[in-house]
Structure formats: C-alpha cells, structure tokens
C-alpha cells in the first residue's frame, strides 16, 4: 500500500496507488488527483456504478497526450528547440477546452495537472466543454516580438493537426496573451485555410469576445463576493492582497476595487509591492501589458510605495482577503498560517492549485473561507465558452451582455458547489462541493456513452 492519505475507500485507494506507480515522476498531477479523489469518497460509496464502470480509473487517464518538437530561429539566426504539449483529457461533455502555458517550468506533470483540473472546472461552468491543456517550456520573457511569432508559428504547425472548433479549442494561460493568440491563430488560418473559432482569447477585430480579457479576474471576484455574502461578509473596506500581476491579477484588482475592497499588495516572480493607499490596476496594466516591464517600476509611478525582492513574502503582508493569482503551490503551509495569524478571513484562488495541501489543511483548521481554483477561476473558460457561442452564431455580444452572463455563471457555480457540499454532508466545504459537482456531470455523460 503506497497511499498515505486520509482516504479509506478501497476502490479510490487502488486507483490512487496505481497512478502513483505509473506517474511517479508527475508530482503536480498526483497532487491534483489526490485532492479530487479524497472529496469523491461519499459519492463513490453511494453509487456503485462508478466503481463497476471504473469511472475514476478512466478519468485519471487522459484520452490523448501529444508531445512534439518545436524548432524556431532566434534573432541571432540560431536554431532553438523547445518541447510542446497538448493533453486532451476528457471529451465526455464537449470538445477539449483549456489554455496553453508558455513558461520554463512547463513539463508533462504540470500540463496533466492543469488538464485534469480543467475537466471539473469546465463541467462546473454548465457549458458543453471537455477538458484539455497544453503549452511549452519556451519562455516569452525577454524575447522579441519576432522570436515569439516564430515560436508560435512553429508550435501551431504541429498543434493544428490535433485541434479544431469541434475537437479541441485552446486559449491563453501564463505567458500566452493577446499577442501569442494572434500569432497562433494566424498560423492556424494559413495552414488550414479556414477562419473558425479554433482559439479563444482572440483580438476583438477577428472574433474575440468583449470581457474575455477581464473574465477570470472579474469572475473570481463575483465568486468571492457570493461566498462572502453567503457568510455575512462583503468586500467593503477589506484589505486585499493579490499575488501576480498578469491577466488574472490585474482584472481581479479592478473588480475588487469596484466591489469596495482595497488592493494593497501585488507581485511578479521577482518581488512584491505594497501600497497602503491602494494599487491602481491601470498602473499595473501599463507596466505589464504595455511596457512588459517588472513590477518594481511601480515605484516610478508611486514613490511612496514599497518594493520587496522575492515573491513569496507577499503573504506576510497583513490583509483580510488573499487572492493568489500567480501560479501553482505559491502558498505553502507556513504562508497560510501567517495569513491566518494576521487576520485573513478568506483565501480565494485565481491561479490554478496555488495552495499546497498543507495550506488547505491550515485554512480548514482555522475555519476561514476558501474557494478552490476550479470553481473560482472558472470565469475565464466560461467566457471562452461564450466566445465560442458568438463565433458559431457569427455575432458579437456587448460587454454588458457578456459580463452579466459571466456574473450569473459564477453565482451559479457557487450555489452548485455549496449545494453539493451540503448534500454529501460537508456543508460549507466549497472545495469538496466543487469536486463533487464537477464530477457528477462528467461521470454521468461517461456512463451514458459506454467505454
Ligand atoms: P500571466 O502570464 O498573465 O501572469 C502570470 C503572473 O504570475 C505574472 O505576474 C508572473 O510574474 C507570475 N508568475 C508566473 N509564474 C510564476 C512563478 N513560478 N513564481 C512566481 N510568480 C509567477 O498569467 P495569467 O494571469 O493568465 O495566469 C495566472 C494564473 O491563473 C495561472 O495559474 C493560470 O493557470 C491561472 N488561470 C488563468 C486564466 C486566464 O484566463 N488567463 C484562467 C484560469 C486560470 P512574471 O511576470 O515575473 O513571470
């Protein structure tokens, strides 16, 4: 017996043990699976079909994994090679859907954990989207536009064989924003000679959706607001710390302030800034989206602010609400305990799997509010789903229309997670509720479709 978890169900334990052998070198993937399987215990025990049909064993195995060579020429004329990935995890409820990540830390374990999470997240949105994820260990930081374009063209030259508007629809993630999506779309169109909604997060002039850029950050705040209100709280007057300063973090800041909160700290991978007067998201937008510069240059705009080298110290800044919006495992057990000791009442996840299992245990022991990423950051993919709908209709909806739908979806996800948690005897445990509600729809579709 390899397992050390609190899980007791023999079927779930055997699936997990098997996976630990087969995926021994994939720690992030194992972490994500273990977290979900622990929540599914009461579900599996009340419906024998899941074990009989080996639904869990099938769900932890991706339907397809594509790994490929990505050669490209740098500005000096030298040939560089990166590794590309697309993991098509589960298509039971719709075409594979999930972002592409470009970051030196990308490997198969990271992409599999993200793809696995995506299956449950997409199910929670209630839209017809399966789960997938992709990316490369290419680092766009410090590269010229020409280098990024040549990389994206080479990446898509292979990826285009595996995707399509009814098969697999990638989007952005860390390191993939409007610039990269544009280059990827241009290459797809050139090779396939078709103008389709094969990617989301597109520019507005060629099929993008209004409010997609803001969607993950806005959605996170709509979700957090619903959870806070359900617990007799609100954003009003709260001191908020947001890690990261990318797409999710910037728009989480904007919506948080609109809802009455004050964002006092933000970060990038080098360090963090603290501004007790509140950080204006437009300044961060200018630094990160326009100038592609480092967050420490915030001091050029607001000299009274403070910059601290090293990103993990951001969780020592006393706050009421923490929103991790940078990357996986960025809050460990010690950081979680520091947040709690400093009076934090809730952690709402914008990044994927930003809290380690030790951190989650600390939140639960302290009884603070916690929203798991697969529920609270689902607004991005939900709005990607809305972009796909608009592309199919050949129509564009207004910002207000999309934003209203996003808000409704996020409130619906919160309600579904809360209801599932209560139904299975874990009232208030939104983490378990998210795993269960996300699972049930996918599992039901798999049962209907046979093996
Ligand atoms: P961006 O590339 O726009 O921004 C990422 C931010 O996180 C940057 O500030 C970056 O700093 C920081 N960061 C990245 N890697 C690390 C690291 N290893 N250590 C410390 N800081 C790091 O990405 P997004 O905002 O799109 O994504 C952020 C998170 O949100 C990811 O977990 C992603 O999977 C998740 N997410 C994104 C969605 C979207 O729609 N974009 C949807 C759902 C989830 P630096 O600039 O120094 O690299």
Q: How confident is the model at residue 5 (pLDDT cuts 50, 70, 90)?
A: low
CA of 269 to the centre of ligand 1 (A): 9
Chain Cα centroid distance, residue 445: 23
pLDDT confidence of residue 14: 98
Cβ–ligand 1 contact at 382 (below 6 Å): no
Nearest of 222, 182, 187 to residue 201 by alpha carbon:
182
Pairing of strands 271-274, 262-267: antiparallel
CA of 164 to the centre of ligand 1 (A): 26
Distance (Å) of CA 360 to CA 245, 306, 368: 23, 29, 10
C-alpha–C-alpha distance, residues 371 and 351, integer Å:
11
- Give the closest residue (by CA) to ligand 1 atom 10: 268
Cβ–ligand 1 contact at 351 (below 6 Å): yes
Cβ–ligand 1 contact at 269 (below 6 Å): yes
pTM (two decimals)? 0.96
Q: Is 133 a catalytic residue?
A: yes
Residue 327, token pair as written in the block: 């990357």
Cβ–ligand 1 contact at 182 (below 6 Å): no
Q: How confident is the model at residue 1 (pLDDT cuts 50, 70, 90)?
A: very low
In testing the pocket of ligand 1, which one of 134, 135, 173 has its CB within 8 Å of the most ligand atoms? Answer: 173
Closest-lying ligand 1 atom to the alpha carbon of residue 267: 9
Assess whether pLDDT exceeds 60 at residue 224. Answer: yes
CA atoms within 13 A on the CB side of 441: 25
C-alpha–C-alpha distance, residues 261 and 244, integer Å:
17
Contacts for 175-179: CB closer than 8 Å, 24+ residues apart: 175/101, 175/102, 175/103, 175/135, 175/138, 175/139, 175/140, 175/141, 176/99, 176/100, 176/101, 176/102, 176/135, 176/201, 177/201, 177/246, 177/247, 177/289, 178/203, 178/213, 179/145, 179/148
CA atoms within 13 A on the CB side of 282: 0
Catalytic residue among 97, 112, 121, 133: 133
CA of 136 to the centre of ligand 1 (A): 14
Assign residue 98 a region (left: φ > 0; alpha: ψ between -120 and 50; beta: otherwise): left
Closest-lying ligand 1 atom to the alpha carbon of residue 350: 30
- Give the closest residue (by CA) to ligand 1 atom 20: 269
Nearest of 206, 173, 199 to residue 184 by alpha carbon:
199
Give the mean pLDDT of 351-366.
97
Q: How confident is the model at residue 6 (pLDDT cuts 50, 70, 90)?
A: confident
Burial of residue 289 (CB within 10 Å: 0-12, 13-18, 19+) is: middle
Q: What is the 3-state secondary structure (H, E, C) of 373-393?
A: HHHHCCHHHHHHHHHHHHHHH
Cβ–ligand 1 contact at 26 (below 6 Å): no
Average per-residue pLDDT for the chain: 97
CA of 324 to the centre of ligand 1 (A): 10
pLDDT confidence of residue 388: 97
CA of 372 to the centre of ligand 1 (A): 16
Pairing of strands 271-274, 306-309: antiparallel
CA of 106 to the centre of ligand 1 (A): 12
Cβ–ligand 1 contact at 173 (below 6 Å): yes
pLDDT confidence of residue 296: 98
- Give the closest residue (by CA) to ligand 1 atom 13: 326
Assess whether pLDDT exceeds 70 at residue 4. Answer: no
> How many CB atoms are closer than 10 A to CB 91?
21
Assess whether pLDDT exceeds 70 at residue 204. Answer: yes
Query: Using alpha carbons only, how large is the chain's radius of gyration in Å?
Result: 21
Cβ–ligand 1 contact at 325 (below 6 Å): yes
- Give the closest residue (by CA) to ligand 1 atom 36: 351
What would the pLDDT profile of 370-380 be if each residue is shown by its tens digit?
999 999 999 99
What would the pLDDT profile of 294-349 be if each residue is shown by its tens digit?
999 999 999 999 999 999 999 999 999 999 999 999 999 999 999 999 999 999 99
CA of 52 to the centre of ligand 1 (A): 39
Cβ–ligand 1 contact at 248 (below 6 Å): yes
Percent share of the chain, pLDDT over 70: 99
Dihedral over Cα of 442, 58, 64, 62: its sign? positive
What would the pLDDT profile of 227-261 be if each residue is shown by its tens digit?
999 999 999 999 999 999 999 999 999 999 999 99
Cβ–ligand 1 contact at 245 (below 6 Å): yes
Cβ–ligand 1 contact at 311 (below 6 Å): yes
- Give the closest residue (by CA) to ligand 1 atom 48: 269
What would the pLDDT profile of 400-442 be if each residue is shown by its tens digit?
999 999 999 999 999 999 999 999 999 999 999 999 999 999 9
| Cβ–Cβ under 8 Å, residues 56 and 14 | no
| Cβ–Cβ under 8 Å, residues 246 and 267 | no
What would the pLDDT profile of 79-109 be if each residue is shown by its tens digit?
999 999 999 999 999 999 999 999 999 999 9
C-alpha–C-alpha distance, residues 296 and 268, integer Å:
9
Cβ burial 117-131 (10 Å sphere, 16+ → b, else e): bbbbbbbbbbbebbb
CA of 174 to the centre of ligand 1 (A): 4
């Amino acid at each position: 017996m390899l397992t050390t978890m609190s899980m007791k169900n023999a079927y779930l334990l055997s699936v997990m043990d098997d996976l630990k052998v087969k995926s021994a070198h994939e720690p992030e993937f194992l972490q994500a699976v273990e977290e979900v399987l622990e929540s599914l215990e009461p579900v599996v025990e009340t419906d024998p079909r899941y074990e009989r049909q080996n639904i869990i064993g099938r769900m932890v195995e991706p339907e397809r994994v594509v790994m490929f060579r990505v050669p490209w020429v740098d500005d000096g004329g030298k040939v560089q090679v990166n590794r590309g990935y697309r993991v098509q995890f589960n298509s039971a409820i719709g075409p594979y859907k999930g972002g592409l990540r470009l970051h030196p830390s990308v490997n198969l374990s990271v992409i599999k954990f993200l793809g696995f999470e995506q299956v449950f997240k997409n199910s929670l949105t209630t839209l017809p989207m399966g789960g997938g994820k992709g990316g490369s260990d290419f680092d766009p930081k410090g590269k010229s536009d020409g280098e990024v374009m040549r990389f994206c063209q080479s990446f898509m030259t292979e990826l285009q064989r595996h995707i399509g508007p009814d098969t697999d629809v990638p989007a952005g993630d860390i390191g993939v924003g409007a610039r990269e999506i544009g280059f990827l779309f241009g290459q797809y169109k050139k090779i396939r000679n078709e103008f389709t909604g094969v990617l989301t997060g597109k520019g507005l002039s060629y099929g993008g959706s209004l409010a997609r850029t803001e969607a993950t950050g806005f959605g996170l705040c709509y979700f957090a607001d619903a959870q806070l209100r359900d617990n007799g709280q609100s954003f009003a007057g709260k001191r908020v710390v947001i890690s990261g300063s990318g797409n999710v973090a910037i728009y989480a800041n904007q919506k948080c302030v609109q809802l009455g909160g004050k964002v006092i700290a933000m970060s990038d991978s080098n360090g963090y800034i603290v501004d007790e007067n509140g950080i204006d998201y437009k300044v961060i937008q200018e630094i990160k989206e326009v100038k592609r510069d480092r967050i420490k240059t915030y001091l050029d705009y607001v000299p009274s602010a403070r910059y601290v080298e090293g990103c993990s110290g951001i969780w020592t800044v006393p706050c009421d609400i923490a929103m991790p919006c940078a990357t996986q495992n960025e809050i460990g057990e010690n950081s979680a305990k520091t947040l709690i000791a400093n009076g934090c009442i809730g952690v709402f996840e914008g990044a994927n799997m930003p809290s380690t299992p030790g951190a989650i245990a600390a939140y639960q022991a302290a009884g603070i509010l916690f929203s798991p990423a697969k529920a609270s950051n689902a607004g991005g993919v939900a709005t990607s789903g809305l972009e796909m709908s608009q592309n199919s209709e050949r129509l564009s909806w207004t910002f207000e229309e999309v934003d209203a739908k996003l808000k409704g979806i996020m409130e619906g996800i919160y309600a579904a997670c809360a209801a599932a948690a209560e139904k299975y005897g874990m009232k208030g445990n939104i983490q378990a509720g998210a795993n269960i509600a996300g699972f049930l729809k996918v599992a039901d579709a798999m049962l209907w479709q046979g093996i």
